[in-house]
Structure 1
Amino acid sequence: MGVSTSAPDEGVAVVTVDFPPVNALPVRGWYDLAAAVRAAGADPKVRCVVLAAGGRGFNAGVDIKEIQRAAGPEAILGANRGCYEAFAAVYDCEVPVVAEVHGFCLGGGIGLAGNADAIVASDDAVFGLPELDRGALGAATHLARLVPQHLMRTLYYTSRTVTAGELHRHGSVWEVVPRERLRDASLALAREIAAKDGQLIRLAKAAINGIDPVDVRRSYRFEQGFTFEANLSGVADRVRGTFGTNPATDKES
Structure 2
Amino acid sequence: MGVSTSSPEKGISRITVDFPPVNALPVQGWHDLADALRAAGRDPGTRCVILAAAGRGFNAGVDIKEMQRDPGHTALIGANHGCYEAFSAVYTCEVPVVAAVNGFCLGGGIGLVGNADVIIASDDATFGLPELDRGALGAATHLSRLVPQHLMRALYFTSRTATAAELHAHGSVWKVVPPAELADAALDLAREIAAKDGQLLRLAKAAINGIDPVDVHRSYRFEQGFTFEANLSGVADRVRDTFGKEAGQ
Q: TM-score range by the shorter chain?
A: over 0.9
- Partner of residue 185, structure 2: 185
State the Cα distance separating 1:10 from its structure 2 match: 1.1
- Partner of residue 81, structure 1: 81
- Partner of residue 232, structure 2: 232
State the Cα distance separating 1:71 from its structure 2 match: 1.1
Verify: 1:16 aligned to 2:16, yes or no.
Answer: yes
- Partner of residue 54, structure 2: 54
What is the alpha-carbon distance in structure 2 between the residues aligned to residue 119 and residue 159 of structure 1?
Answer: 21
State the secondary structure of the residue aligned to 1:71. coil
Deviations 1:80-128 (A, max 9, x none): 0000000000000000000000000000000000000000000000000
State the Cα distance separating 1:214 from its structure 2 match: 0.3
- Partner of residue 27, structure 2: 27
Instruction: Say what the alpha-carbon RMSD is for the aligned residues.
Output: 1.0
**Superposition pairs of residues 1-253 of structure 1, within 5 angstroms:** 1-247=1-247
What is the alpha-carbon distance in structure 2 between the residues aligned to residue 144 and residue 68 of structure 1?
Answer: 29
Counterpart of 1:62 in structure 2: which amino acid?
A: V
What is the alpha-carbon distance in structure 1 between the residues aligned to residue 73 and residue 241 of structure 2?
Answer: 15
Counterpart of 1:227 in structure 2: which amino acid?
A: T
What is the alpha-carbon distance in structure 1 between the residues aligned to residue 170 and residue 246 of structure 2?
Answer: 31
What is the alpha-carbon distance in structure 1 between the residues aligned to residue 190 and residue 215 of structure 2?
Answer: 25
The runs of 5 or more residues in structure 2 that have no matched partner are none
Deviations 1:186-220 (A, max 9, x none): 00000000000000000000000000000000000
What is the alpha-carbon distance in structure 2 between the residues aligned to residue 66 and residue 243 of structure 1?
Answer: 14
Give runs of ≥4 in structure 1 deviating > 4 Å. none
Please report the TM-score for the alignment, with normalisation by the length of structure 1. Answer: 0.97
State the Cα distance separating 1:226 from its structure 2 match: 0.3
Counterpart of 2:22 in structure 1: which amino acid?
A: V
What is the alpha-carbon distance in structure 1 between the residues aligned to residue 246 and residue 166 of structure 2?
Answer: 27
Counterpart of 1:90 in structure 2: which amino acid?
A: V
What is the alpha-carbon distance in structure 1 between the residues aligned to residue 119 and residue 95 of structure 2?
Answer: 15
State the Cα distance separating 1:245 from its structure 2 match: 2.2
Deviates more, 1:161-170 or 1:234-243: 234-243
Counterpart of 2:191 in structure 1: which amino acid?
A: R
State the secondary structure of the residue aligned to 1:50. strand
The runs of 5 or more residues in structure 1 that have no matched partner are none
What is the alpha-carbon distance in structure 2 between the residues aligned to residue 128 and residue 43 of structure 1?
Answer: 32
What is the alpha-carbon distance in structure 1 between the residues aligned to residue 239 and residue 183 of structure 2?
Answer: 37
What is the alpha-carbon distance in structure 2 between the residues aligned to residue 73 and residue 19 of structure 1?
Answer: 23
How many residues align? The count is: 249
What is the alpha-carbon distance in structure 1 between the residues aligned to residue 106 and residue 93 of structure 2?
Answer: 22
What is the alpha-carbon distance in structure 1 between the residues aligned to residue 242 and residue 65 of structure 2?
Answer: 12
What is the alpha-carbon distance in structure 1 between the residues aligned to residue 194 and residue 31 of structure 2?
Answer: 26
State the secondary structure of the residue aligned to 1:24. coil
What is the alpha-carbon distance in structure 1 between the residues aligned to residue 171 and residue 14 of structure 2?
Answer: 24
Counterpart of 1:47 in structure 2: which amino acid?
A: R
Percent sequence identity over matched residues?
79
What is the alpha-carbon distance in structure 1 between the residues aligned to residue 192 and residue 163 of structure 2?
Answer: 26
What is the alpha-carbon distance in structure 1 between the residues aligned to residue 172 and residue 130 of structure 2?
Answer: 20
State the secondary structure of the residue aligned to 2:242. coil
